[in-house]
Amino acid sequence: MERKINKVKIFTNSSEKTKVVTDKLIKALEEYNFEIVEENYDLAISIGGDGTFLHMLNKANFNEEIYYVGINTGSLGFLQEIDLEKNPDFVERLNNNHYDLEDIYLEEITVTTKDQTINYTALNEMVVRDKKLKVLECIVEVKEELLETFIGDGLLISTNTGSTAYNVSLGGSIISKDLLALSLTPIAPLKNKIYHSLSNPLIVSHKQTIGITPKNKNLVITLDGMNHELEDVIKIEAKIGNKKIKRLKLEDTNFIKIIRDKILGNEKEGRDL
């Protein structure tokens, strides 16, 4: 059951278009008596590109009690689905509770080092690399079954949501929105007479945990674009668990249409053969 939204926090990037859209939105929110606050908000709105959405989630600490929505003023907008020009009644619909909520499941990561266990969360992906960007060597397990000894630049573990981001640039598959899965995508795997790492991305279901036991002990892991340096790493585990965020939507979006529009750049319904 949707709850009444009263308090709103706005996250923005620094583009000129964002400034114009933000001013317009604040005016409309004030007209409907929404409170614009810095803390204890019901709804977080990001205005900008997908990077702004990721920044917002990080600042909100992936709080599961909050609703999230993105207004696109950036270039892509996979996560930022609302276009205020196409949805001029956005604030009115917020006021009337006339919206849908979509659960987006997150990647849960546990890092065990010599001294501690650290838990992280990511929406898009985790990238594991050597701290000094030397070749990474590690044992990879899926559901505790040995897959391989990987040698290469690094490993990326993407969620279905993140599959259209860095993953796709590395040749990973785009994973349908309604398919809860992780993609284990290699970054420049070594493949020669001596070393033979899997060069294809491997997609595993949300019921499986991917384990990485590195030979290099000092690593940098990048979560949704943010670097975390780690010393004396023993093991890294990644899975889709129960953690999720609620994204507010105005309409059902067709995933194939999004790929056609935003990756292929063909907004038309089709083209003549």
Interacting residues toward ligand NAP by CB under 6 A: 49-51, 54, 74-79, 124-125, 161-162, 164-166, 169, 224-225
Residues ≥6 apart with Cβ < 8 Å to 219 = 128, 129, 130, 131, 136, 229, 230, 233, 236
The DSSP output letter for 99 is: -
Closest to ligand NAP by CB, 169 or 199: 169
- Quote the least distance from Cβ 171 to ligand NAP, whole Å: 11
**Closest chain position to ligand NAP (CB):** 225
C-alpha–C-alpha distance, residues 27 and 18, integer Å: 14
The DSSP output letter for 34 is: P
- Quote the least distance from Cβ 210 to ligand NAP, whole Å: 17
By annotation, the residues acting in catalysis are 50
HEC letters along 141-197 = EECCEEEEEEEEEEEEEEECHHHHCHHHHCCCCCCCCCCCEEEEEEEEECECCCCEC
- Quote the least distance from Cβ 87 to ligand NAP, whole Å: 18
C-alpha–C-alpha distance, residues 221 and 59, integer Å: 18
Of the candidates 250, 248, 251, the residue with the CA atom closest to the CA atom of residue 66 = 248
- Quote the least distance from Cβ 138 to ligand NAP, whole Å: 21
Closest to ligand NAP by CB, 61 or 116: 61
C-alpha–C-alpha distance, residues 118 and 176, integer Å: 30
Closest to ligand NAP by CB, 28 or 163: 163
- Quote the least distance from Cβ 71 to ligand NAP, whole Å: 12
Both tokens assigned to 2:
């949707």
Closest to ligand NAP by CB, 208 or 222: 222
Closest to ligand NAP by CB, 28 or 238: 238
